[in-house]
């Protein structure tokens, strides 16, 4: 006969067996074998990735990726455009000036040369030695002063008035060491007249506009504190 303890243990064993069966299920013979990642059998489809972690890949037979358009590279403008021809000796000399003084601006120089040209011609006619001294190199200043003194000795007076400065073009640039010389060709329209002691016209005309072409050379020592260019040579072009 079974005692009470044996009956209790058997009941407990049956209870545990029933609970395990309900949790683990029963084998039916249709279960899939365990997936072997190294197996050659490719019949098993890959498991779907968890939602939100899918990374789409391009299809093998899809359209090819669109190639990006050509990249436009901005070509820097020629620094001396409108002043000197690219690749010319003048452009190379300007590059040398800019190497010593990076802030050098050729167009700004030509604007200053126009102003200096008008000031010098007007000061010479008026006999203004003081203004000429600040604008001319010593030997040129001496030549201008000599011409003024000669005119004054004859008691003649001179009047010059610009109608316009048609152009001021850079004709030549020379750099020797730190000394730079820039030659400018001026084309202008000028009214100029010289009168004798009695006021009679001895040269020029107060009513005639003359076409005048001058070739002047300005010089300066680069890299110094003095920013002024001075006239070092003059030539009346034909």
Mean pLDDT of 208-221: 96
Residues in the chain: 238
* Helix/strand/coil for 2: coil
- Mean pLDDT score of the chain: 83
pLDDT band at 69 (very low <50, low <70, confident <90, very high): low
pLDDT tens by residue, 98-130: 999 999 999 999 999 999 999 999 999 999 999
Rounded to two decimals, what is the model's pTM?
0.67
pLDDT, tens digit, 9 for 90 and up, residues 159-169: 999 999 999 99
pLDDT band at 57 (very low <50, low <70, confident <90, very high): very low
- Using 50, 70 and 90 to split pLDDT, how confident is the model at 236? confident
Q: Which residue has the higher pLDDT, 225 or 189?
A: 189
Rg of the Cα atoms in the chain:
49
Cα dihedral 162/166/172/176 (nearest 10): 40
Confidence tier at 9 by pLDDT (50, 70, 90)? low
User: SS3 for 43-112, per residue?
Assistant: CCCCCCCCCCCCCCCCCCCCCCCCCCCCCCCCCCCCCCCCCCCCCCHHHHHHHHHHHHCCCCCHHHHHHH
Helix axes 106-126, 138-153, angle to 10 degrees: 30
* Whether residue 34 has pLDDT greater than 80: no
Q: Are 160 and 188 in contact (CB under 8 A)?
A: no
Q: Which residues pair with 194 in a beta bridge?
A: 158, 203
């Amino acid at each position: 006969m079974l005692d009470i303890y044996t009956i209790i243990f058997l009941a407990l064993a049956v209870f545990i067996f029933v609970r395990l069966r309900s949790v683990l299920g029963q084998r039916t013979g249709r279960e899939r074998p365990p997936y072997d990642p190294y197996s050659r059998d490719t019949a098993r489809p890959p498991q779907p990735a968890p939602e939100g972690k899918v990374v789409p890949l391009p299809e093998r037979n899809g359209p090819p990726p669109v190639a990006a358009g050509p990249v436009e590279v901005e070509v820097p403008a020629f620094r001396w455009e409108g002043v000197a021809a690219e690749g010319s000796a003048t452009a190379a000399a300007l590059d040398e000036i800019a190497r010593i003084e990076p802030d050098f601006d050729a167009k700004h120089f030509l604007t200053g040369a126009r102003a200096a040209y008008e000031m010098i011609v007007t000061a010479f006619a008026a006999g203004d030695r003081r203004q000429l001294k600040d604008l001319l190199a010593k030997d040129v200043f001496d030549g201008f002063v000599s011409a003024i003194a000669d005119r004054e000795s004859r008691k003649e007076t001179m009047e010059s008035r610009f109608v316009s400065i048609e152009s001021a073009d850079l004709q030549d640039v020379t750099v020797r060491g730190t000394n730079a010389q820039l030659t400018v060709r001026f084309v202008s329209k000028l009214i100029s007249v010289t009168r004798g002691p009695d006021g009679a016209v001895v040269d020029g005309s107060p009513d005639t506009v003359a076409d005048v072409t001058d070739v002047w050379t300005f010089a300066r020592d680069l890299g110094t504190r003095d920013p002024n260019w001075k006239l070092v040579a003059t030539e009346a072009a034909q």
